[in-house]
Amino acid sequence: MKRSSGARLCSMAAVGALSLALVTGCSSDSGEGSKKKDATDSKGSASAPASDAKALTSAELEKLLLAKGDVKGYRFDSGVDTLPTSKSAVKTDKAACDPLAWATAGLAPGDTGANASNSVTEDKTSAATASPDEADIEDAFDVNLTFVGLSSYDGDGAVKAVKAVSDGVAACASGYGLKADGEDSKVTKVVSEKGTGGGDEAVAFAEDVDMDGEGTATFHTEVIRKGNTVATFYTVNFAAFGSGGDMDPVPAAVVTAQLGKLG
C-alpha cells in the first residue's frame, strides 16, 4: 500500500523521542477505517485499599515499572522523552475528560503527585536495519508502542481515580478537544470496552481521534487499580497509524507483567 510522507514520518518516529502530541497529531492519506470492539467495562473484584493506605513515592514507583527482561520480545525506554511530564501540558475542553487524557499520557488519572511512566515497544529494531529498502523499513515498524503509567494514592484515592476515569468515559462519549504540548487534537467518540482486566478493578475504553479530516483512528487505553496503585496503558501501532483505522489493543503480556510487579 502506498503511504504518505506523514505516515512514513510516523513510522520512523518509533525509534526516536515521541511526545503524545506528535502521536495524536500525525495524519495519513488513507480514508476512514475505524472499527469498534464490543463496548463492555472490564472490572475486577473492586476491593478497596485500607483507609489508612499510604501512597508510594515516585521513586518507589519507578522501581516497579517494567524493565529489561520482564517481558520477552519488548524493549523499555524512559518516559522522560516520550511523554508529558506535567498535567499542565495536557488540557481538554471538558473537565470530566481530563482523567482520560491523563491516562493516555502516562500521567496520574487522579489527585496525587506520585507518578512514574515509561514506554514499552515490540523489539523489531534488528529487522528495521536489515534492509535499506523503505518499504521493508516501514513494515519493520509495524510495532506496538505502549505508554505505561503508575500512580499511587493515600487512602481511597486510587478508587476515586478509577471512578473518575469510568465517569469520564460516560461523560465524554461524544468526544472532547485535546491540547497536548501546544498541539490540538479532537477526540470524536469514547466508548467503554473489554480490556485485559486484572487487579482489583479495571476500566478499558477506546477513543476515536480525528486525523486532520482524513478519517479517524481508534486508540485503546486500560486503567487498572491494584491496591492503592493505578496502572495505565495506552497503545499506538505505527503501521495502523499510517493506514488509519483501529490501533491494536494494549498487549495482554505487558499488562499482566506490569500487574505482577505491583505485588
Class at the top of the CATH hierarchy for domain 5-29+37-261? alpha beta
Q: For residue range 183-204, list pLDDT tens digits in order.
A: 888 999 999 999 999 999 999 9
Where does the pLDDT of residue 132 fall: very low under 50, low under 70, confident under 90, or very high at 90 and above? Answer: low
Q: What pTM was computed for the model? A: 0.79
What is the predicted pLDDT for the residue at 133?
58
Q: For residue range 84-129, list pLDDT tens digits in order.
A: 888 988 999 999 999 999 999 999 999 999 999 999 998 876 544 4
For β-strands 245-246 and 216-226, DSSP reports them as parallel
Q: For residue range 142-156, list pLDDT tens digits in order.
A: 788 899 999 999 999
Give domain limits for the chain: 5-29+37-261
Among 196-200, 225-229, 239-243, name the one with the lowest average pLDDT.
239-243
